[in-house]
Every structure is written in C-alpha cells, then in structure tokens.
C-alpha cells in the first residue's frame, strides 16, 4: 500500500510534500476524511520544490536588519523554515502509521498552522519589496529530521527541539525588527512565536506518551546524531513560554545548564 492508496488525509500529506508549485505549498486543497488505518510506513526521501526556490547547500546568515532587503531576507528564511516544518509534519503522518489517531490528526493540524505562517511571512517579504525566490534557501531540516527512527524521536527533534528553539528566536527577532523600526514585522514574529507554544506542548505531550516520561536525559538521547541540545535552544531561554508549553522546570533548567562533552581524544 502506498500513501495514495490510503485515506484522504494521507493523500493530502503525500501530495503536499511532493508539490512543486508555490500555489500548492501556500494554498493546498482542503483536507479530506480522517486518516485511514494502515500499517505501511511511507518515508518520502525529499520534498518537491517550486522552481522559484533556489536550494543551496549553505545559506547566508541573516544580518543587516536595518535595511528592507535585510529584513526581507530574514523573513524569507523564516518562510522556508515554516515550509519545511509543514512538510515534515505531513512526512511524519506517513512515516509513523501505527501511532494513535489523535497524534496523526494533530500533526496535520500543526502543518496547517505552519502553512498559515508561511503566508504571513510571504506577505511580509512582498511588503518589503521582494518576492519568494529572491533569496536562496537551504533544506536544513530535511537533511536531518528523516533520520528519526520513530515517533518519539520525531517529537524530540521537532516539538521539543526546533519548535522549542523558535520560542527564543521569535522573541529575539521581534526585538530586532522593532529596533530597526519595522513594527509590522515585529508583530508578525510575536504572533507566530505565540502560536508555536501549542506546537511545543504537542511535542512535549507525545514524547512523554511515547517514552513514559519527559526527562531531559531521555530527550537528549532521542535526538539522532549529530543533533544535540545545543541546537535546540536560543539565548536567553524563553523560560516562561517553555513552561507554558509543558516543559517541566527541571527540564528547562537542565537545558540551560547543558554543555557539550569535551572530546576524549
């Protein structure tokens, strides 16, 4: 059985991942019926990419937010982050078919949020005089997330990892946009940051369900190499947001203290 043989939601996920037009990525068709019950894992190796998006192996760092072009570049990068997040939520639906129905439906709910965030970022890029595709992008998340062997590892990487770090990054960039005099971009960043909290809570809840607990050491071990807690946090930690997202205080404390082990060579 392939994804296209399964329920409407699986077909929606399959087609969204492989779509190669901006129109489909930004405004996919309506969702169909709930996920079908089947036991075949479908692990798509790579997403479809619209020709407008120039994929590079190494993306340029975001600097120069005092210029419209610099802010547009940053927002364009964030657009692509949201695109990858939406695709990977759909990917997990197909990759982990034996997970509970409520988990799989939640993945699609988050994917739809990420698509809405994509449109918010696209509007901001356009407001600043640019278009999607004006800046190169990197499929950095796609290079890493499909290494997750099971749903617990996926929750560790996405909900408790990248989306948790976005709680810090959203606050940081909102402040930087505001300092540059761009209040509209700052407010969009704050809105998206606030809407990440339920996504992080989803990841925390299901990681605990799948593993039996939400312990920092268990989470760190669930990250597929070479990922580590270092990449899953910003500075300073958005402690209040993380607690609101269901991360225990002991978990947040351990994350703040964590340092890479020194080489034993």
Q: How many CB atoms lie within 10 A of CB 184?
A: 12
Q: What is the pLDDT of residues 162-198, one digit of tens each?
A: 999 999 999 999 999 999 999 999 999 999 999 999 9
CB neighbours of 123 closer than 8 A, spacing ≥ 6? none
Task: Tell me if residue 19 falls in helix, strand or coil.
Answer: coil
- How far CA 201 is from CA of 24, 103, 148, 160, in Å, comes to 28, 12, 19, 8
Question: In terms of DSSP H, where are the helices of the chain?
Answer: 8-18, 22-26, 68-95, 101-127, 151-157, 163-179, 183-211, 216-222, 239-244, 249-257
Tokens of residue 99, six digits: 């997970």
For residues 165 and 86, what is the distance between their CA atoms, to the nearest angstrom?
17
**pLDDT tens for each residue of 123-163:** 999 999 999 999 999 999 999 999 999 999 999 999 999 99
According to DSSP, the residues that pair with 76 across neighbouring strands are none
Q: For residue 222, what pLDDT band results from cuts at 50, 70 and 90?
A: very high
Which tens digits make up the pLDDT trace of 202-218? 999 999 999 999 999 99
Is 153 within 8 Å of 207 (Cβ atoms)?
A: no
Position 8 scores a pLDDT of 87
DSSP state of 235: S
- What is the structure's pLDDT at 3? 43
Beta-carbon-side half-sphere exposure of residue 131 (alpha carbons within 13 Å)? 5
pLDDT tier for residue 7 given thresholds of 50, 70 and 90: low
| Cβ burial, residue 15 (10 Å; 0-12/13-18/19+) | middle
Helices 101-127 and 8-18: crossing angle in degrees, nearest 10, is 40
Q: How many CB atoms lie within 10 A of CB 205?
A: 17
Instruction: For residues 252 and 223, give the distance between their C-alpha atoms in angstroms, rounded to a whole number.
Output: 16
Report helix, strand or coil for 154: helix
What does the alpha-carbon distance between residue 184 and residue 127 come to, in Å, rounded to a whole number? 10
Backbone angles phi, psi at 260, to 5 degrees: -60, 145
Task: Please tell me the total number of residues recorded for the chain in this structure.
Answer: 265
Query: Nearest 5 degrees, angle CA 128-CA 196-CA 66?
Result: 30
pLDDT digits (tens, 9 = 90+) for 18-61: 999 999 999 999 986 665 556 789 999 999 999 999 999 876 66
pLDDT at 11: 93
* Structural domains of the chain in order of their starting residue, each with its CATH number: 3-18+62-257 (1.20.1260)
209 and 102 Cβ atoms separated by less than 8 Å: no
């Amino acid at each position: 059985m392939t994804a296209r043989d399964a329920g409407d939601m699986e077909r929606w996920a399959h087609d969204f991942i492989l779509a190669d037009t901006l129109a489909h990525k930004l405004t996919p068709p309506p969702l169909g019926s709930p996920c079908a019950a089947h036991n075949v894992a479908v692990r798509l190796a790579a997403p479809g990419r619209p020709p407008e998006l120039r994929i590079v192996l190494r993306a340029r760092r975001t600097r120069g937010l005092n210029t419209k072009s610099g802010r547009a570049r940053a927002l364009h990068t964030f657009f692509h982050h949201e695109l990858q997040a939406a695709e990977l939520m759909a990917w997990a639906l197909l990759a982990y078919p034996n997970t509970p129905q409520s988990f799989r439906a939640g993945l699609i709910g988050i994917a739809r949020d990420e698509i809405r965030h994509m449109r918010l970022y696209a509007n901001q890029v356009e407001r600043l005089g640019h278009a999607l595709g004006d800046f190169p992008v990197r499929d950095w998340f796609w290079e890493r997330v499909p290494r997750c062997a099971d749903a617990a590892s996926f929750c560790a990487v996405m909900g408790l990892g990248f989306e948790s770090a976005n709680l810090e990054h959203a606050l940081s960039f909102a402040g930087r946009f505001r300092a540059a005099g761009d209040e509209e971009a700052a407010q969009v960043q704050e809105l998206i940051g606030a809407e990440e909290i339920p996504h992080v809570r989803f990841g925390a809840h299901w990681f605990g369900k799948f593993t039996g607990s939400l312990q920092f050491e268990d989470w760190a071990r669930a990250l597929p190499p070479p990922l580590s807690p270092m990449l899953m946090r910003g500075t300073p930690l958005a402690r209040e947001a993380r607690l609101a997202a269901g991360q225990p205080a002991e978990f947040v404390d351990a994350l703040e203290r964590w340092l890479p082990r020194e080489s034993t060579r």
